[in-house]
Structure 1
Amino acid sequence: MHAMQYEITLPADYDMGIVRDRVARRSHLLDDFPGLGLKAYLMRERAAGSPVNQYAPLYLWTASEGMNGFLWGPGFQGIADDFGRPEVQHWTGAAYHEGPAAAARARTAVRRRQRLPLGVRPGPLVEEAAAETERLARHEGAVCAALGVDPYRWELLYVTLWDHDTPAAPGDRYEVLHVSSPERGSLRRGRHW
């Protein structure tokens, strides 16, 4: 599994209805994209209490071929044409779990990024993060939870999708506008080593 996200931060007075309309018109294009485990179309708004207006889709890829096909093909080019080419962040998948609300529509996503401290062996920390991801996935209302690791910045990425608006999980909150999940069933469960 590979996790990928780009963030498009928009002006404070930007009409976020434009993003909603874009997702409504285009999200179906990835509903059968090869190699895509899931794409959560995420957005947060200043009007709803966020510090920024932002469109920040998050992807979980089953294999690098799918990710590369998207990045080098017309899918990502559409983002670049409309918003400019954003920096694409990516993490090696370390764990994935379905939650008790796996069949429900995801309404909220919580993303938390955490640096691994210098001078500490990363193995035990990633092991504990994988266990924490599994615990998050067990909460009532959890649709799924994933853990990624960026070994360049030594950063953990926790992402949990929820079926309600007020999950009790730390991190940045996003509204989920749509989820494309053509190969979600192929995302390997459990830890990935």
Structure 2
Amino acid sequence: MHAMNYRITLPADYDMTIIRDRVAAKGHLLDDFPGLGQKAYLIRERGVHGSPVNQYTPFYLWNTAEGMNSFLWGPGFQGLVNDFGRPVVEHWTGVGFVRGPSFRAEPRAAARRSEPVAPGEDPAAVISRALAELTATATRPGLHSAALLVDPRHWELLRFTLWQDAAPEAAGEERHEVLHLSRPGLDDIRTGRHW
């Protein structure tokens, strides 16, 4: 599993219905995209759930590197670049995935929390503790799914969760609204530890 996310920050007075309309018109285009596990079309609105900004922040879980490459070098991403400029695309390798009690429901909320793996910490021990936490998260009411991801270049650990309704408030998390979930290969994402 590979993950990627880009965050397009928009002006403070930006009309977010433009993004809502964009997703309503184009979101279905990735509903059967080869190699894609899921794409969560996410937004943050200034003043909602503590967000200081307006952002369009799609988050992807890929089953194959070929699918991810096909998207990045194809017309879909180029359309986004044409409309908003080329964003920084963050990328992580997947180390764990769980399905929650609300896996078959349509998620309406997402949360993203990152933390550094501190110098001097044993990365394997950090991942082991985070995987235990991920397993415990799987039973939380309203959880759709959760992914645990690592960027070994910057030694960043990322937790990404989807929720049927509102994401529970937790310190250090960015909360997002899910406008659409493309899920062509979601059932193929292996649960548990990814090695």
TM-score range, shorter chain: over 0.9
Residue aligned with 2:138, SS: helix
Q: Matches of 2:170 and 2:178 in 1, distance apart?
A: 16
Q: Which runs of 5+ in 2 are unaligned?
A: none
The equivalent residue for 2:100 is: 99
Q: Matches of 1:42 and 1:135 in 2, distance apart?
A: 25
Aligned partners of 1:35 and 1:183 also within 8 Å: yes
TM-score, normalised by the number of residues in structure 1: 0.97
Residue aligned with 2:136, SS: helix
Q: Matches of 2:137 and 2:149 in 1, distance apart?
A: 14
Aligned partners of 2:27 and 2:182 also within 8 Å: yes
The equivalent residue for 1:189 is: 191
Please list every run of at least 4 consecutive aligned residues from structure 1 whose deviation after the TM superposition is greater than 6 angstroms.
Answer: none
Q: Matches of 2:63 and 2:186 in 1, distance apart?
A: 8
Report 1:117-128 matches (<5 A): 117-128=118-129
The equivalent residue for 1:152 is: 153
Aligned partners of 1:137 and 1:160 also within 8 Å: no
Aligned partners of 1:142 and 1:162 also within 8 Å: yes
Residue 182 (structure 2) pairs with residue 180 (structure 1)? yes
Report 1:71-86 matches (<5 A): 71-86=72-87
Q: Matches of 1:140 and 1:168 in 2, distance apart?
A: 14
TM-score, normalised by the number of residues in structure 2: 0.96
Q: Which runs of 5+ in 1 are unaligned?
A: none
Deviation, 1:47, is: 3.9
The equivalent residue for 1:36 is: 36
Residue aligned with 1:178, SS: strand
Letter in 2 for 1:172: E
The equivalent residue for 2:56 is: 55
Aligned partners of 1:8 and 1:54 also within 8 Å: yes
1:139-183 CA distance string (max 9 Å, x none): 000000001100000000100100112424441100000000000
Letter in 2 for 1:176: V
1:118-159 CA distance string (max 9 Å, x none): 011100101111121222222000000001100000000100
Relative distance call for 1:166 and 1:97 in structure 2 (3 A) is closer
Residue aligned with 1:32, SS: coil
Aligned partners of 2:111 and 2:162 also within 8 Å: yes
Residue aligned with 1:51, SS: coil
Relative distance call for 1:14 and 1:168 in structure 2 (3 A) is closer
The equivalent residue for 1:6 is: 6
Aligned partners of 2:47 and 2:53 also within 8 Å: no
Residue 132 (structure 2) pairs with residue 131 (structure 1)? yes
